[in-house]
């Protein structure tokens, strides 16, 4: 058996996870990291961002098993023996367990750890070991650890009934706990009881047990509840640590600081950990935005989840300047500038996710306010069948996209899912193999087989200028992130009339009003009738949590406005553990799809009457936004209040009595 080759295989086998190892340095600081190389000759560990001598590390645990079972190892190596080990480190830290292999060479103790019938690689620095005991036993541990191995069934646990010993939470790196979605609770009878959302994670069990120095008893907890408790504990601990650091250097909420002092604060360990835990927590909860708003007496932390701005906690105002400084540092922004708005960007990779974050910093009366937009490209591109369209409308949508030329528009307000729909459309066109060029601000998803161009307003490279240039680049399909002005609109229309399929977005309230909006922007109706092939107007509405449905009490004025029938009953989510007490279980789209038929084109050219256009569209089978939303409310999928919020025009809905 070549141990060094096994190490190389272990650290290169799992490319999906950003990190593959846990490193413990000489100060007992734990770090979840990606180990890329172990140079046994030079005696250094190489991670993605640094090189570390063996002597500066206590141990490294590679998270995934190198052998799935003890039987696999024995079959491949012929070694039927296994031993107990006890390793005493220089700072009186002791590691015990069972192993099938343990040798001291190249400046390391090389250990194949046996844990719950799986084999894992542990690398321990020889210079930091004061004593090593190895006893062959092929049975219970001489040192009293493995004999208490947990073998019972996994039980469910309600975290609200448990008193959590927070010292065990502090023992592990927060990013590791979020990665495994694990919450250490307390130690009982030589077992550390740990709540997991998925208690079947073998790698999580072995890493946590090795760090804790005892066996793990896994318990099953609800994901939302566990993340709520974990983020609260971790953020509170990090906030306390950060405040202690600020007090040590005499910083309080009212003190004006020089630029070098502010920059120094942003590099404090406590501030780094607090900001990292906020970002990790927001990503794990599926938030689209992180808000940090200074108030008169506190710093407000909020997340936008499922379209709603949700208060998370009130932070000590003394942390404000330090956190803003940290955000500016990682976002590549000017720390000294506090009087003007700034924009920045962070690229984050961790826990199998690839995240692009866009930062906006604005000066306010109480100091700088920060909003971080989270773009999770690891969620992947959606297929057209996942957009929430009916089978009939999916077929119509695909047919429109197969047009050889013309312009297809997706419309709606900010945050209505327009980009998601456009990317799904591009994903569909990629299958045909044309030359596709996109002009975006920003490029949210990087797509294989697509030429993507980011606009840059600082250099004057706008949507309109990019469009003029790419027409000479021989495209078949052009995607323009947004039509913002008349120049862009005219060039897009001209492009669609010269043999290109143009896809873009526009901020309008309905499909029909998009036509009049383009005319107002300076596009001639006679050009528009030939250029347009279709318009999809859409919104995102909040879905009811099915676990806590209650009947919704709606004022008569709202019922009249949405034109509900007298016998209609509507429901909403009351709030429960499944939905973070919000009553909301994600969002879905409501839409109206307008095909530009000869009759619609004739009306565009002749009268441009919005009421006539709307009537023609409905006669041809278009279901309006308001009609679709009302039907979803009648099916208990959304609340009546959501119908009221997204209605485009009350006259689009016919009451049952009129029908």
Domains of the chain listed by start with CATH number: 1-10+28-79+90-136 (no CATH), 156-221 (3.30.300.160), 228-375 (3.30.450.90), 384-538+588-623 (3.40.50.300), 546-582+624-658 (no CATH)
Whole-structure pTM value: 0.67
Question: 295-328: b or e for each residue (b if 16 or more CB lie within 10 Å)?
Answer: eeebbbbbbbbbeeebebeebbbbbbbbbbbbbb
* pLDDT at residue 430 is higher than 80: yes
pLDDT digits (tens, 9 = 90+) for 159-208: 888 888 888 888 887 778 888 889 999 988 878 899 998 888 877 888 88
> 302, 293 in Cβ contact below 8 A?
yes
How far is residue 8's CA from residue 62's CA, in Å, rounded to a whole number? Answer: 11
393 has a pLDDT exceeding 50: yes
As a whole number, mean pLDDT of residues 593-614 equals 91
Lowest mean pLDDT among 163-177, 507-521, 588-602: 163-177
- The mean pLDDT value for 290-316 works out to 90
User: Is the model more confident about 56 or about 18?
Assistant: 56
Banded model confidence at residue 658, pLDDT cuts 50, 70, 90? very low
Question: For residue range 216-257, what is the model confidence (pLDDT) as tens digits?
Answer: 888 998 887 888 888 888 777 777 777 777 777 666 656 667
**CA 375 vs CA 319, 380, 651: distances in Å:** 26, 11, 37
Q: How confident is the model at residue 18, as a pLDDT?
A: 63
What mean pLDDT is predicted for residues 369-383?
A: 81
- Token pair recorded at residue 519: 């005319």
Q: Which residues contact 577 (CB under 8 A, 6 or more apart)?
A: 222, 224, 225
d(CA 466, CA 628): 37
Q: Is 60 exceeded by the pLDDT of residue 505?
A: yes
Residues 6+ apart with CB under 8 A from 86: 94, 95, 96, 131, 132, 133, 143
Nearest to 411 by CA among 401, 421, 402, 403: 421
**656 has a pLDDT exceeding 60:** no
On the CB side of 443, CA atoms within 13 Å amount to 14
Map 77-136 to HEC letters: HCCCCCEEEEEEECCCCEEEEEEEEEEEECCEEEEEEEECCEEEEEEEEHHHEEEEEEEE
Q: Of 48-62, 295-309, 426-440, 642-656, give the lowest mean pLDDT range.
A: 642-656
Residue 144, pLDDT above cutoff 70: no
Q: What is the pLDDT of residue 598?
A: 94
pLDDT of residue 147: 40
- Identify how many contiguous H helices and E strands the chain contains and give both numbers: 20, 30
On the question of pLDDT at 146 being above 80, the answer is no
CA distances from 15 to 36, 44, 48, 588 (A): 11, 22, 13, 32
Order of all β-strands in the sheet with 30-33: 30-33, 21-25, 57-62, 118-125, 108-115, 94-105, 83-89, 129-136
Is residue 650 scored above 50 in pLDDT?
Answer: no
Average pLDDT in the 432-445 region? Answer: 88
Sheet order of strands, 308-315 included: 308-315, 299-305, 289-294, 367-376, 353-364, 342-350
Which runs of consecutive H residues, i.e. helices, occur in 266-360? 269-284, 320-330
Report the pLDDT value the prediction gives residue 239, as an integer from 0 to 100.
Answer: 79
**Could you tell me the pLDDT band of residue 284, with boundaries at 50, 70 and 90?**
confident
Q: Kindly state the average pLDDT of the residues 410-422.
A: 90
Q: How large is the average pLDDT for residues 537-551?
A: 92
Residue 626 · residue 535 · CB < 8 Å: no
- Position 17 scores a pLDDT of 56
Weakest-pLDDT range from 93-102, 290-299, 424-433:
93-102
Q: What is the mean pLDDT of residues 319-336?
A: 91
Over range 383-405, report the average pLDDT: 92
As a whole number, mean pLDDT of residues 96-119 equals 86
pLDDT at 255: 63
Neighbours of 67 (CB within 10 A): 21
Question: Sign of dihedral through CA atoms 484, 487, 489, 491?
Answer: negative
Three-class DSSP category at 308: strand
- Provide the pLDDT confidence category of residue 410 given band limits of 50, 70 and 90: very high
* Cβ 319 vs Cβ 295: under 8 Å: no
* Residue 655 reports pLDDT greater than 50: no
- Contact of 504 with 491, CB cutoff 8 Å: no
Q: How confident is the model at residue 13 (pLDDT cuts 50, 70, 90)?
A: low
The rounded distance, in Å, linking the Cα atoms of 283 and 292 is 15
- Beta-bridge partner residues of 504: 409, 480
| pLDDT value of position 149 | 45
Band (74; pLDDT cuts 50, 70, 90):
confident
The better pLDDT of the pair 50, 529 is held by 529
Q: What is the mean pLDDT of the chain?
A: 85
Identify the sign of the CA torsion 345, 347, 353, 354: positive
Range among 244-248, 319-323, 408-412 rated most confident: 408-412
User: What integer is the mean pLDDT of 314-335?
Assistant: 90
Residue showing tokens 């960007």: 345
What are residue 353's DSSP bridge partners? 350
Crossing angle for the helix pair 223-248 and 269-284, to the nearest 10 degrees: 160
């Amino acid at each position: 058996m070549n141990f060094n080759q096994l190490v190389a295989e272990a650290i290169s086998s799992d490319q999906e996870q950003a990190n593959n190892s846990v490193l413990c340095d000489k100060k007992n600081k734990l770090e979840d990291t990606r180990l890329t190389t172990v140079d046994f000759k030079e005696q250094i560990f190489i991670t993605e961002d640094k090189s570390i001598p063996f002597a500066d590390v206590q141990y490294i645990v590679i998270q995934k098993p190198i052998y799935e079972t003890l039987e696999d190892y024995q079959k491949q190596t012929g070694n039927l023996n296994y031993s107990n080990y006890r390793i005493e480190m220089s700072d009186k830290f002791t590691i015990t367990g069972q192993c099938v292999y343990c040798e001291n060479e190249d400046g390391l103790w090389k250990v194949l750890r046996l844990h719950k019938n799986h084999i894992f690689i542990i690398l321990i620095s020889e210079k930091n070991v004061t004593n090593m005991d190895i006893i062959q036993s092929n049975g219970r541990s001489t040192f009293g650890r493995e004999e208490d191995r947990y073998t019972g069934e996994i039980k469910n646990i309600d975290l609200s009934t448990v008193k959590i010993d927070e010292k065990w939470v502090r023992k592990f790196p927060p990013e590791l706990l979020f990665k495994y979605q694990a919450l250490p609770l307390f130690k009982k009878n030589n077992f550390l009881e740990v709540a997991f959302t998925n208690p079947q994670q073998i790698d999580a069990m072995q890493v946590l047990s090795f760090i804790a120095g005892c066996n793990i008893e896994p318990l099953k907890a609800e994901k939302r509840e566990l993340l709520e408790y974990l983020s609260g504990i971790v953020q509170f601990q990090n906030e306390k640590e950060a405040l202690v650091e600020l007090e040590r250097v005499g910083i309080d909420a009212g003190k004006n600081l020089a630029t070098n002092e502010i920059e120094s604060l942003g590099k404090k360990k406590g501030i780094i950990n607090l900001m990292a835990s906020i970002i990790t927590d927001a990503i794990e909860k599926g938030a689209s935005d992180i808000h940090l708003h200074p108030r008169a007496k506190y710093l407000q932390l909020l997340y936008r989840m499922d379209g709603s701005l949700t208060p998370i906690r009130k932070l000590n105002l003394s942390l404000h300047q330090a956190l803003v400084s940290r955000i500016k540092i990682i976002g590549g922004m000017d720390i000294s500038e506090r009087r003007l708005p700034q924009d920045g960007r962070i690229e984050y990779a961790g826990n199998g996710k690839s995240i692009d974050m866009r930062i906006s910093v604005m000066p306010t009366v109480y100091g700088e306010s920060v909003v971080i937009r989270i773009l999770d490209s690891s969620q992947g591109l959606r297929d057209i069948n996942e957009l929430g369209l009916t089978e009939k409308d999916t077929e119509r949508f695909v047919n429109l996209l197969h047009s050889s030329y013309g312009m297809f528009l997706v419309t709606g307000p900010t945050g209505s899912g327009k980009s998601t729909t456009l990317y799904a459309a591009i994903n569909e066109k990629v299958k045909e193999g044309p030359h596709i060029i996109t002009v975006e601000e920003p490029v949210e998803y990087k797509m294989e087989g697509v030429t993507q161009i980011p606009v840059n307003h600082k250099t004057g490279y706008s949507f309109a200028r990019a469009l003029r240039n790419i027409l000479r680049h021989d495209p078949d399909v052009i995607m323009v992130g947004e039509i913002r002005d008349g120049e862009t609109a005219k060039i897009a229309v001209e492009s669609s009339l010269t043999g290109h399929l143009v896809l873009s977005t526009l901020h309008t309230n309905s499909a029909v009003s998009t036509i009049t909006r383009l005319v107002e922007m300076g596009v001639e109706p006679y050009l528009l009738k030939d250029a347009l092939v279709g318009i999809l107007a859409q919104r995102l509405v909040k879905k009811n949590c099915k676990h806590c449905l209650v009947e919704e009490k709606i004022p008569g004025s709202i019922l009249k406005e949405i034109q509900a029938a007298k016998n209609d009953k509507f429901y909403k989510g009351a709030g429960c553990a499944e939905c973070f007490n919000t009553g909301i279980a994600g969002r879905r789209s409501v839409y109206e799809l307008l095909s530009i038929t000869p009759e619609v084109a004739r009306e565009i050219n002749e009268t441009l009457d919005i009421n006539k256009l709307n009537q023609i569209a409905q006669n041809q089978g278009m279901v309006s936004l308001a009609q679709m939303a009302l039907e979803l409310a009648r099916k208990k999928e959304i609340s009546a209040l959501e119908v009221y919020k997204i209605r485009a025009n009350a006259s689009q809905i016919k009451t049952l009595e009129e029908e």
